[in-house]
């Protein structure tokens, strides 16, 4: 898939989980991310990326009130980011951690995978399973292992959770990023 197609696919899968929420109480359920609720998962994806886009690429997107209507906020946010993928207009990001890169490349390297991995977090917070896909999980694990020191130093990932021998690629990746693959809320 192209970066634009991958974003559209991952954002749509996340939207399916968001759209499955039937009560406001579901948004307050704990998630596998320590001290985060289900609402915190979606709020993180919306707010950090909008802040990143503004600070690193000068892209101004209207603020969204995620807590007021998470599904509507996700729909708007996804459309905003997809428009950047569909027409990057030679925009670049400039960031001390990534250097200078085309905007769509930077988003495909850090934002789209964040949607994909946080889909598991949101699904688990809601008592559902989510398949990250064995091939993609294995590839992500290889890439992440190569930059583990930087990942850990960022403070964005918890300590590794040990998984049993013979664990699936998804379980290995989840353990690597600090999630307990058997977590249940």
Class at the top of the CATH hierarchy for domain 3-130:
mainly alpha
Does 181 have pLDDT greater than 90? yes
Whole-angstrom distance, CA of residue 116 vs CA of residue 96: 24
pLDDT at 161: 87
Residue with tokens 């946010």: 77
pLDDT (tens digit per residue) in 77-100: 999 999 999 998 888 888 777 789
Task: Write out 69-135 in H/E/C secondary structure.
Answer: CHHHHHHHHHHHHHHHHHCCCCCEEEECCCEEEEHHHHHHHHHHHHHHHHHHHHHHHCCCCCCCCHH
CB distance 38 to 125 below 8 Å: yes
Torsional sign, CA 117, 121, 126, 130? positive
* Backbone torsion region of residue 69, taken as left when φ is above 0, otherwise alpha when ψ lies between -120 and 50, otherwise beta: beta
Q: Tell me: pLDDT of 6 over 80.
A: yes
Decide if pLDDT at 13 tops 90: yes
Question: What pLDDT does 146 receive?
Answer: 75
Q: Are 113 and 98 in contact (CB under 8 A)?
A: no
What φ, ψ does residue 95 adopt, rounded to 5°?
A: -145, 135
What is the percent of the chain with per-residue pLDDT over 70, rounded to a whole number?
A: 96
pTM for the complete prediction?
0.91
Question: Domain map of the chain by residue range?
Answer: 3-130, 132-185
Region 128-149: mean pLDDT is 88
Region 40-50: mean pLDDT is 95
Asked if the model's pLDDT at residue 149 lies above 80, the reply is no
- Tens of pLDDT, residue by residue over 112-137, are 999 999 999 999 999 999 999 999 99
pLDDT score for 152? 61
Instruction: Name every residue whose Cβ is closer than 8 Å to that of residue 33 and which is 6 or more positions away in sequence.
Output: 40, 41, 121, 179
pLDDT digit string, tens, across residues 59-78: 999 999 999 999 999 999 99
Which whole-number Å values give the CA distances from 80 to 46, 64, 160, in the listed order? 10, 11, 34
State the average pLDDT for the chain: 91
Terminal-to-terminal C-alpha distance of the chain: 33
Mean pLDDT of 17-40: 94
């Amino acid at each position: 898939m192209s970066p634009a197609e991958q974003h559209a696919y991952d954002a749509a899968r996340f939207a399916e989980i968001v759209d499955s929420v039937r009560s406001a109480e579901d948004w307050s359920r704990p998630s596998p991310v320590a001290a985060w609720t289900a609402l915190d998962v979606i709020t993180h994806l919306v707010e950090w990326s909008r802040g990143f886009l503004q600070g690193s690429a000068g892209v101004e997107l209207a603020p969204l009130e995620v807590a007021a209507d998470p599904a509507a906020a996700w729909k708007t946010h996804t459309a905003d980011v997809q428009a950047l993928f569909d027409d990057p207009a030679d925009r670049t990001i400039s960031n001390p951690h990534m250097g200078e890169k085309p905007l769509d490349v930077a988003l495909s390297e850090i934002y789209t995978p964040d949607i994909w991995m946080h889909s598991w977090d949101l699904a688990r917070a809601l008592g559902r399973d989510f398949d990250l896909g064995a091939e993609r999980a294995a590839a992500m694990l290889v890439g992440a292992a190569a930059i583990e020191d930087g990942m850990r130093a960022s403070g964005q990932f918890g300590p590794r959770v040990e998984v049993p021998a013979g664990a699936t690629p998804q379980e290995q990746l989840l353990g690597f990023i600090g999630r307990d693959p058997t977590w249940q809320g």
